[in-house]
Amino acid sequence: MEIKTITQWLAKSGYTFAFKGDEHIEVSGFASLNSCETGKITWIKKRENYEKLENKTGINIAVVQNGLELDIPNQIVATKSKEVFFAILHHFWGAEKKPGFIGAGTFISPEAEIDSTVYVGYNCSIVGKVKIGANTVIENNVTVSNAEIGENCLIHSGVVIGADGFGFAFGENGLPIKVEHFGGVIIGDRVEVGANTCVDRGTIENTTIYDDVKIDNLVHIAHNVVLQKGAVVVAGAIICGSVQLGEDSYVAPGGIVKNQLQVGNNAFVGLGAVVTKPVDDYSVVIGVPAKEIRKVKLGDK
C-alpha cells in the first residue's frame, strides 16, 4: 500500500501529525529500528537510537518523534510518536479477534450475560451471573465469576477475576477462620488485564476498576481495591486490600502498596517500592519503606 493510505487513516482517526515526503511511496510492512529495511515503516523516538546505527541507508519510512531533525526521506512526525506508530501497526497488521467466537473447552453459565460481540478463547470458565460488554476479548484459560466487565476490554490468558480474597478472622485458639466474601468485581470500559493476574472480589463492597485502567502480567489486586480512571499497575506489583489508586497513578514493577492506603492522582510508585503511608497527588515515591523524592515530571511514566 502507499503511505497515503496510512496518513489518510491517521487523519480520519483524529491523530495529530505532520507528513514529510512522497505520499505515493510503497509500504510493505513494519520493522524495529535495528532491523529496518527499505519499504518497512519503523519508529524513532530518540536521536541517539538512530545515530548509533551502523547502516542507515535502508530506513526510508519512519514515524519520528516531534523535534528530531533526521535525514529520512519519508517521515510521519508526531508528538505522541509511540501511540501513532503502534496504532498504525494495530490497524494495518494486527490480528483481529472474531466477534462472537467461543473456543473449545469453554464453559459459560446459562445466567451469564455476554454481548454477542464478545470473543472468548479456549478453556475458559465464566461462572454465575457474570456480565461482559460489547467487543471485549477474553483470551485462553481465563476464569471469571462474581464480576461485571465493560466494553472494549482485553483480558489476557490465565487471568482469574472474582475469586475470594485472602480474608480471615482468628479464633480463640489462634487459628485462622475464613471470612466469606459477598462482594464482586466491577470493571469499566477499555480496561486491560495482563496474563496470570488475579483480581479478587470484595468482601461486602465491590472491588472496582474504572475506565482505561491498564494492569500488566502477574499482578495481584486484592479485595475491595479501587483503581481510578487511567491508573496503571505494572508486572509483579501487589495492591493490598482496600487500597485506592488515584486517577492516572502508576505503580512500577514490583511495587507493593499496604492495605487501607490511598495513592493520589498522578502519583508514581517506583520500582520495588513498599508503600506504607498514603501518597500525595503527583508525588514520586521510591524505596523500602517508600519515601517521596520529588513531584512527577513529564516522561516519568
Is residue 181 among the annotated active site residues?
Answer: no
Q: Are 153 and 137 in contact (CB under 8 A)?
A: yes
156: cell is: 489476557
Q: Give the end-to-end CA distance of the chain in Å, rounded to a whole number.
A: 34
Task: In whole angstroms, give the CA distance from residue 223 to residue 238.
Answer: 12
Task: In whole angstroms, give the CA distance from residue 281 to residue 263.
Answer: 7
Find residue 215's DSSP bridge partners: 193, 233
Find all residues with CB under 8 Å of 273, minimum gap 6, and list them.
252, 254, 255, 256, 285, 286, 287, 288, 290
DSSP, residue by residue, 136-172: -EE-TT-EEESEEE-SS-EE-TT-EEEE--S-EEE-T
Classify residue 275 by burial, with Cβ atoms within 10 Å: 0-12, 13-18, 19+.
buried
Which residue is catalytic, options 156, 181, 220, 223?
223
Active site residues: 223
